[in-house]
């Protein structure tokens, strides 16, 4: 039997749009038998005061004596913001950045893929195509992990089969940039992101994977990890599945050196 993944690093706290404090999340990580917790609040939610975001996490880490990685989840940045983001990653000594695609432009306006309104726009060919064709933008040195790769299916239509060439292109770019793809269990009741079909492509491309819960509440911290590890045991055995904290840390450090602060 496979051992439980030692970390959960796509998580949100009260500082961002989550519900629990960093301390609550650490205590939950301890209770869950994890070795490492990563905090990755949305950049848009914490960018108004990054020093305090980092300080609050470090303070909780010191107080509770637990291994905590400090990260951010960042939406597909425009080219003119990349330099600023590289700078803050280094300046604050972030351990990792997660790259995401939540919003897609349509006629000059951005629409959230999970919106309950504007379904005609969200399900249109133009919108769907823009999502898949924007994905390779997340391939760079900045992002260590690619979040919920096919979140677009929250629109209620599943178009991955129509955009296989674009998916292949994105995977090739992620591989070339030595990035990790997360298996996000947040919408597990419907389906993980990415789907099993895309995951097979990830395996073929030899891209490392981890499980992420995208927890916004502490009890979601390792939600569905064990059952999905069991269900996917066969493909995972042939994949570069990173499940140990040491391995994860080594991987992150190999991308951008050890944390300086
Ligand atoms: Zn996200
Ligand atoms: Zn998230």
Residue 261 lies in a domain: no
Going from the Cα of 111 to the center of ligand 2, the distance in angstroms, rounded, reads: 17
Ligand nearest to the CA of 18: 2
pLDDT tens for 245-258 read 999 999 999 987 65
| CATH code, domain carrying 100 | 3.20.20.140
Going from the Cα of 75 to the center of ligand 2, the distance in angstroms, rounded, reads: 10
- Phi/psi for 183 (5° steps) reads -100, 105
CB neighbour class for 121 (10 Å; exposed up to 12, middle 13-18, buried from 19):
middle
Going from the Cα of 207 to the center of ligand 1, the distance in angstroms, rounded, reads: 20
Going from the Cα of 214 to the center of ligand 1, the distance in angstroms, rounded, reads: 7
Is the pLDDT confidence value at 91 over 60? yes
Is the pLDDT confidence value at 185 over 60? yes
How far CA 29 is from CA of 76, 83, 156, 252, in Å, comes to 29, 33, 33, 20
Q: Are 242 and 209 in contact (CB under 8 A)?
A: yes
Is the pLDDT confidence value at 153 over 80? yes
Going from the Cα of 152 to the center of ligand 2, the distance in angstroms, rounded, reads: 14
Per-residue pLDDT, 258 = 57
Going from the Cα of 147 to the center of ligand 1, the distance in angstroms, rounded, reads: 6
Going from the Cα of 41 to the center of ligand 2, the distance in angstroms, rounded, reads: 7
Residue 153 zone, left/alpha/beta (φ > 0; ψ -120 to 50; rest): alpha
The pLDDT-based confidence of 152 (bands split at 50, 70, 90) is very high
Return the H-helix or E-strand segment holding 40. Answer: strand 36-42
Residue 191 lies in a domain: yes
Residue 194 lies in a domain: yes
Going from the Cα of 74 to the center of ligand 2, the distance in angstroms, rounded, reads: 9
Residue 195 lies in a domain: yes
What is the SS3 string spanning 231-250? HCHHHHHCCCECCCHHHHHH
Going from the Cα of 1 to the center of ligand 1, the distance in angstroms, rounded, reads: 30
Per-residue pLDDT, 261 = 47
How many domains does the chain divide into?
1
pLDDT tens for 15-53 read 999 999 999 999 999 999 999 999 999 999 999 999 999
Residue 219 lies in a domain: yes
Is the pLDDT confidence value at 54 over 50? yes
User: Considering the chain, what is the average pLDDT of its residues?
Assistant: 95
pTM of the predicted protein model: 0.96
Residue 2 lies in a domain: no
Ligand nearest to the CA of 11: 2
Ligand nearest to the CA of 113: 1
Residue 205 lies in a domain: yes
Average pLDDT of the segment spanning 123-152: 97
Q: Tell me the C-alpha distance between 242 and 234, whole Å.
A: 15
Ligand nearest to the CA of 40: 2
The pLDDT-based confidence of 189 (bands split at 50, 70, 90) is confident
Going from the Cα of 216 to the center of ligand 2, the distance in angstroms, rounded, reads: 8
Parent domain of 141: 7-256
Residue 1 lies in a domain: no
């Amino acid at each position: 039997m496979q051992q439980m993944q030692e970390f959960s690093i796509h998580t949100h706290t009260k500082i961002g749009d989550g519900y629990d404090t960093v301390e609550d999340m650490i205590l939950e990580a301890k209770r869950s038998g994890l070795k490492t917790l990563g905090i990755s609040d949305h950049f848009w939610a914490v960018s108004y005061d990054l020093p305090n975001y980092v300080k609050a996490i470090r303070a909780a880490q010191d107080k509770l004596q637990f291994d905590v990685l400090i990260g951010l989840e960042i939406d597909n940045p425009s080219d003119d913001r990349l330099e600023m983001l590289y700078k803050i990653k280094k300046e604050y000594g972030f351990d990792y950045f997660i790259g995401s695609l939540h919003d897609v432009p349509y006629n000059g306006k951005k629409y959230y893929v999970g919106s309950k309104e504007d379904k005609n726009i969200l399900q249109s060919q133009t919108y769907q195509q823009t999502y898949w064709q924007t994905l390779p933008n997340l391939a760079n040195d900045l992002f260590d992990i690619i979040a919920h790769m096919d979140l677009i299916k929250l629109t209620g239509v599943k178009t991955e089969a129509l955009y296989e060439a674009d998916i292949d292109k994105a995977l090739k770019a992620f591989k070339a940039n030595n990035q990790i793809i997360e298996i996000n269990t947040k919408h597990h009741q419907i389906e993980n992101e990415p789907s099993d079909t895309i995951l097979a492509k990830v395996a073929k491309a030899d891209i490392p994977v981890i499980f992420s819960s995208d927890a916004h509440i502490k009890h979601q911290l390792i939600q569905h990890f064990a059952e999905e590890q069991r269900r996917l045991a066969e493909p995972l055995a042939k994949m570069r599945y990173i499940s140990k904290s040491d391995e994860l840390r080594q991987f992150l450090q190999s991308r951008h050196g050890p944390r300086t602060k």
